[in-house]
Every structure is written in C-alpha cells, then in structure tokens.
C-alpha cells in the first residue's frame, strides 16, 4: 500500500530512509550505549533540511506540509528513536511557538539558524511538580522596568545542553487572573546570566538524545523576549502540542515498523524443529497482527496530518493518532522481542533498543491518560 502518497512524498520518504540507513543506523547502537549526542549526525540532518520542514522558505525552511513532516519522523524513528527525538522536539515545540506566535523580528532572528540545524532550541514546560498539570507551573517571571526576571527550574527538557543548543522557550507564571495562573512564554538564550543546564544521564530511552534539567536564577530578559501576548502562554503551548503529537505518533509508527521488520527477518532466519520459526502459527499470527496494527495506525496518522494540512480542526484526531500509534509501538516492539526470544533481550539486537525508545512515547507530550481526557472532552463528555 502507498496510502495515497504522491510521487513527491514517496521520493521524500525514500530519500530520508536511505539517509537514516546510511548515516544513522551504523552508529545508533554505539551512541545509545555511550549515551552520546552526535553533533555530526545532527548537522547532517540539518543539511538534509529536517530542522525546518514546515517553516516557510523566507525564514530558511522547506515549506513542506504536515504529512511530509510525519513521513520524515516515521523514517528516522524506524532506525533510531534518539535522532528522531532531536528532530521532532526541535520542529514541534522548538520552532513551533516562534513560528506560530513570534514577532517578525523574532522569526528573522531565530528561525534561519534553527532551520539550518546550526542552532537547536528547547521548550521549557515540564517541572518537577508540573507535568500533565502544566498550569501548575511554579517558575515565575516578574516585571522590572523594561525587563522580566525569571526564576525557577524545568526538567526533562530536550535539546538544551548539547554543543548546538541556542536556548529555550520558557513558560512562566506572570500573575493571576480570575483566580487562575497567568502563563507567558519567553525566549531565553543559552548565554543568559543565571541560566544553567545539567545533562540527564541514566535514561531508559533516547540515550543518544539530549535531555536536561534547566535552572533559572533571576534570569533577566528584555520585553521583546515575550512570545505573543502576556498571559497567552498556555494556549500557545496547547497549539504547539497539537502539532507535536503528530510527530510523536509518527515516532511510534516508525519504532513499530523498524521492530516489525527486524522480527520478520529474524523469524525467517531462525530455525527450530527443522524449519523457520515464521512457519509456526504462534509466530506467524504475531507477525500478522503486527502488520495489521501498523497499517491501521499509518492510515489514521496520515489522515490526521491531511486534516492539519487542510486547515480543519484536528485536536481530537491528533490525540487519537498519538494515543493509538504509541500504544501500537508498545505492543509491536514487545512482540518483536518475543519473536527473538532470549536474543531480543540482548543489546546487540536492535529490537531491545526499539522497545526502550518507544516507552517514552506513551508519556511525553501528553500521556496516554491525558490523550483519553482530550478525546473524551472533544466528544462533549
């Protein structure tokens, strides 16, 4: 099935697949084992145009649509979740808020470097006590003359502690209105006095991706560092996450596809009782279920991306795609390990890494439980 893809999209898919297999796959296992962020691979992904896919050409981007972006993320995750995470986070919650809500000056200043891959950008939302409850943000920003003073901390932030990091967008509490926190987003550059980052190690997943803790100790930014309007940070965040969920869904789909392909190949090579194990019904039915779930997930995700491209509301569809694709990834990678038997538990087999990398997808950018809340609300419940 080509899922209604145009010739241009098929060419794009095949080009990124070849890039991932040639430039990323040979290093994925070693980078994962060493917990090493690769500047070289990141710069090559920038040269491929993967860091500004849906940004207009006037800001240095590729001007592509959501479906192109989804296909690209799927192909990267099919080989390595860590590299896909770097690209997905940068495009969705790194570039997204600036492109969607930034001033012309902010766009001209930041987007060209972000699109080329010269500079990565993070999004400081999650805190120790503010995860799913993003309105529980305790980081504050107080006005002092023509400046804002930001104090607080963030955790599990992607792309802010590597050599290419340029800074991050920080959501902070700037006051209260009608008894509710007023949240605003600020652009904070990496060399801002009082800003410090600490790389997090010992992760189960995305071990070659950059994840960090962020500390803001009376960080001063000018008034022109505000993104959009004061108090609109929460709505900006939710808009960015809608689009971001398509990328996370694509990563789930890619992880499932990669693990599935490994399982099929292994099942044809591995022999027991005198024949390939794929000839046994217990294994062949697992493979059939994997193929079915992947095809259904891909069909729905591509349709959700087409809805975004058509400019119609897609909040419910983005949540369904994210929920379903990531949970499919959980089932498929688990089955892939089962097909491999004991070998599937060893680090020299890729399915072990696929299983670890997919686990975060049911938590990040809105957990599976939060997606069900969103879907239920969209149904009027």
Q: Which residue, 276, 259, 248, 254, is CA-closest to 334?
A: 259
Annotate 101-165 with DSSP letters as a single string: H--HHHHHHHHHHHHHTSSEEEEE--BTTBSS-GGG---EEEEETTEEEEEEEEEEEESSSSTTE
Q: Report the interhelical angle of 281-310 vs 315-340 (nearest 10°).
A: 160
Annotate 226-247 with DSSP letters as a single string: B-SSTT-HHHHHHHHHHHHHHH
CA angle 302, 308, 309 (to 5 degrees): 85
Instruction: Give the up-direction half-sphere exposure of residue 210: CA atoms within 13 A in the CB hemisphere.
Output: 23
Task: Please pick, among 127, 327, 352, 365, the residue that the annotation labels catalytic.
Answer: 365
Q: Report the interhelical angle of 315-340 vs 350-359 (nearest 10°).
A: 150
For residue 293, indicate whether it is catalytic. no
CA angle 255, 199, 361 (to 5 degrees): 25
Which residue reads 């959980």 in tokens? 330
Which residue reads 């098929």 in tokens? 10
Rounded (to 5) percent helix, strand, coil in the chain: 55, 20, 25
Distance of CA 261 to the CA centre of its chain: 22
Cα dist from 7 to 12, 14, 16, 26, 65, whole Å? 9, 11, 14, 28, 15
Please state, in angstroms and rounded to a whole number, the distance separating the CA atoms of residues 288 and 332: 11
Catalytic site positions:
365
């Amino acid at each position: 099935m080509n899922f209604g893809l145009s010739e241009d999209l098929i060419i794009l898919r095949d080009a990124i697949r070849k890039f991932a297999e040639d430039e990323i796959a040979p290093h994925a296992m070693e980078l994962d084992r060493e917990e090493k962020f690769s500047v070289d691979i990141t710069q090559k992904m920038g040269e491929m145009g993967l860091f500004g896919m849906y940004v207009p050409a006037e800001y240095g981007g590729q001007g592509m649509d959501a479906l192109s972006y989804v296909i690209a993320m799927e192909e990267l995750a099919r080989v390595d979740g860590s590299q896909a995470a770097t690209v997905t986070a940068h495009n969705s919650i790194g570039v997204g808020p600036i492109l969607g809500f930034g001033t012309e000056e902010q766009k001209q200043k930041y987007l060209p470097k972000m699109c080329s891959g010269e500079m990565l950008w993070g999004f400081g939302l999650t805190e120790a006590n503010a995860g799913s409850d993003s309105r529980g943000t305790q980081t504050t920003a107080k006005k002092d003359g023509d400046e804002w003073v930001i104090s607080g901390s963030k955790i599990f932030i992607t792309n802010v502690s590597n050599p290419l990091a340029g800074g991050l967008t920080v959501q902070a509490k700037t006051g209260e209105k009608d008894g509710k926190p007023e949240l605003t987003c600020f652009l904070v550059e990496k060399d801002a006095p009082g800003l410090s980052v600490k790389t997090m190690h010992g992760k189960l997943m995305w071990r070659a991706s950059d994840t960090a803790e962020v500390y803001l100790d009376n960080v001063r930014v000018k008034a022109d560092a505000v993104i959009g309007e004061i108090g609109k940070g929460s709505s900006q965040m939710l808009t960015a996450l809608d689009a971001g969920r398509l990328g996370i869904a694509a990563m789930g789909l890619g992880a499932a596809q990669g693990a599935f392909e490994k399982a099929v190949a292994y099942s044809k090579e591995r022999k027991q009782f005198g024949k390939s194990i794929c000839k046994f019904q217990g294994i062949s039915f697992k493979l059939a279920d994997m193929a079915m779930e992947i095809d259904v997930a891909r069909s729905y995700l591509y349709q959700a991306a087409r809805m975004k491209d058509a400019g119609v509301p897609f909040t419910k569809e983005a949540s369904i795609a994210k929920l379903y694709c990531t949970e499919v990834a959980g089932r498929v990678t688990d089955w892939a390990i089962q097909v491999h038997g004991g070998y599937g538990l060893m680090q020299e087999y890729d399915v072990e890494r696929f299983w670890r990398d997919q686990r975060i997808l049911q938590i990040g950018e809105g957990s599976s439980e939060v997606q069900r809340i969103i879907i239920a609300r969209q149904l009027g419940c």
